Structure 1
Amino acid sequence: MRGTASACGSATITNAIATGEGGAFAIDLRVKSTVSLTEDRSEISGKVGDTGEDPELIEICVEKVLEREGVRDQFGAQIETDTELPIAVGLSSSSAAANATVLATYAALGEEVEPEEAIEIGIESAFDAGATVTGAFDDAAASYLGGGVVTDNDNREILKKIDVDPKLRVLIYLPSGRSYTTEVDVERIRFLEELISVPRESALNGNFFGAQTVNGLIYSSVLGYDPQPALDAISAGAECSGLTGTGPATVAVSKKKNVEKIINVWNSKEGRVLRTRPSREGARIENGR
């Protein structure tokens, strides 16, 4: 039995590390996961494409689903993911991989799962794998549900849903390097709680663009990233721009007419630029059984 599912990456509106409340919106770059259930009950083995990344997260996701469904003693599994998302740059590749793998496992079993339960399994798996600091409920919810969300990560509650116009364009500037969230100095960030409350409140009040920009500038300063790519994007006409996650990627949201201006500015820097859009569609089954 085999199931394939995919889930979106996401970009930050407000980062949850400082306050426990965050926000993110889905982008139309996906991680696809294929889960093949096997009769070899002794092994659950994963492969993260051709990246060489540790597959522990996706292996734990499958283990947890099989345990919840009471069939761990019947099946092992082979898992493979394929991603359109760059890994460890702030675009929720771990949340997307977990969501896709959980949903693919249910598809392989021929069973349905409620979104809340699927997200919960992915988050618990991320904690077990040591792949998260906050649980990244904001990233996981945006990835699974599509659209934008503002969340209470500590209580895993969606505080507000945001409809991000899919006609907008999302541009991503990728300098060299990677940043794993679990390697970030959390204590250095948590003293920002009062300051970060400003963009958080803006997001709750519907000012998605302002929240994303201010959050990104604050986190760039604290984490030691150059804020100039974001400022350049705004000068070139972006609706908003800022660091996503714990970096190093910078995201800009723009109307179509300003896309080439922003790309031209960013192309003058070392690194590369990706183009995508906001996504209203979240996780989906590609095929099952």
Structure 2
Amino acid sequence: MKGRAVALGAGTVLNALATGVGSAFAIDAETTATVELDDSGEVRGDVDGAPDADTRLIERCVELTVERYGSGETGGRVRTESEVPMAAGLKSSSAAANATVLATLSALGVDVGDADSGGRVTRLDACRLGVEAARDAGVTVTGAFDDASASMLGGVTLTDNTRDDLLARDERDWDVLVWTPPERAYSADADVSRCERVAPMARLVADLASEGRYAAGMTVNGLAFSAALGFPTDPAVEAMPHADGVSLSGTGPSVVAVGHRDELETVAAMWGERDGTTRLTTTRTDGARVL
């Protein structure tokens, strides 16, 4: 009983910590999960290249999926391999959870599709299961349904994380520049009270996103949440003349800019003088899938 699946990393349009409403967009960075089920009575997880990584999330994803859709399996192994750096604000946890749930469903022989495809489980069902596992594992404050939905469905999503409701999904053909400094920031450690103070700006971003003005909204979000979470705004200011939108991604520390490749290459030259790594990639609209 073996399954494999892949899910996508994502960047932030609107951080949900202030109001519970969030928005994110999928990027071309993949996480792959391989699941083998057995009757050992224990789920064991590991992360490729990170022997000391916290594996509670991916293990809980397997446990919940087997509880919900299995037929007596009691244990197994799950291994993830990822192009998405951990604790960098690029939705590594959401990608790992989505890929693990889909791989487990594949191992169980459960068909996964979308609402009109006739599958026993929709991708949104699987996404919500991963969000439930993330809450159980304590790796998220809001449940991160915005991040998880973008990773699972592709494109840009707008969500109410307090109810795990998908409010809108759109597609944008953006080039994307990502700068990731050396430090790491864990979502569960974010200062929620500081974020709640920028709720008026978050509501403005939600209004812009609901009008389809995602790029403009993400710039407002980036300035507000960089201030709230104590990250410098200099990278965003450098990018503004050249990008359609730029934001702190998640709770940081990565910064993402979207727009046209030739303009983003100019930003890449500036960001490349900073410590850390820069990556020029694109949006993705296909989302997660079973391999």
> Shorter-chain-normalised TM-score: which range?
over 0.9
* Alignment match of 1:189 (pick from 185, 195, 200): 195
TM-superposed CA distance for 1:185, in Å, is: 1.3
Confirm whether residue 92 of structure 1 aligns to residue 98 of structure 2.
no
Question: Which is further off, 225-234 or 97-106?
Answer: 225-234
Whether the 8 Å CA contact 1:170–1:253 is kept in 2: the answer is: yes
Q: Give the gaps of 5 or more residues in structure 1.
A: none
Aligned 1:235-274 pairs, distance under 5 A? 235=241, 237-274=242-279
Q: Which amino acid aligns with 2:263?
A: N
Confirm whether residue 202 of structure 1 aligns to residue 201 of structure 2.
no
3-state secondary structure, aligned to 1:104: helix
Whether the 8 Å CA contact 2:37–2:73 is kept in 1: the answer is: no
TM-superposed CA distance for 1:231, in Å, is: 1.2
Whether the 8 Å CA contact 1:227–1:242 is kept in 2: the answer is: no
Whether the 8 Å CA contact 1:21–1:150 is kept in 2: the answer is: yes
Q: Which amino acid aligns with 2:194?
A: R
Aligned to 2:107: 108
Aligned to 2:156: 148
Question: Under a length normalisation based on structure 2, what TM-score does the superposition of the two structures give?
Answer: 0.94
TM-superposed CA distance for 1:116, in Å, is: 2.1
Confirm whether residue 16 of structure 1 aligns to residue 8 of structure 2.
no
Q: Give the gaps of 5 or more residues in structure 2.
A: 112-120
Whether the 8 Å CA contact 2:89–2:185 is kept in 1: the answer is: yes
Aligned to 2:137: 129
Distance (whole Å) between structure 1 residues aligned to residue 248 and residue 210 of structure 2 = 19
Aligned to 2:114: none
Aligned to 1:281: 286
Q: Which amino acid aligns with 1:258?
A: E
Aligned to 1:138: 146
Distance (whole Å) between structure 2 residues aligned to residue 74 and residue 158 of structure 1 = 32
TM-superposed CA distance for 1:54, in Å, is: 0.6
List, as ranges, runs of 4+ consecutive aligned residues in structure 1 with deviation greater than 3 Å: none
Aligned to 1:233: 239
Q: Which amino acid aligns with 2:248?
A: L
TM-superposed CA distance for 1:123, in Å, is: 0.7
Distance (whole Å) between structure 2 residues aligned to residue 225 and residue 23 of structure 1 = 20
Aligned to 1:49: 48
3-state secondary structure, aligned to 2:240: helix
Distance (whole Å) between structure 2 residues aligned to residue 242 and residue 260 of structure 1 = 17
Question: Which is further off, 88-97 or 183-192?
Answer: 183-192
Q: Which amino acid aligns with 1:278?
A: T
Q: Identity percentage over the alignment?
A: 43
Aligned 1:162-173 pairs, distance under 5 A? 162-165=170-173, 168-173=174-179
Aligned to 1:81: 80
Whether the 8 Å CA contact 1:138–1:151 is kept in 2: the answer is: yes
Question: Under a length normalisation based on structure 1, what TM-score does the superposition of the two structures give?
Answer: 0.95
Q: Which amino acid aligns with 1:184?
A: A
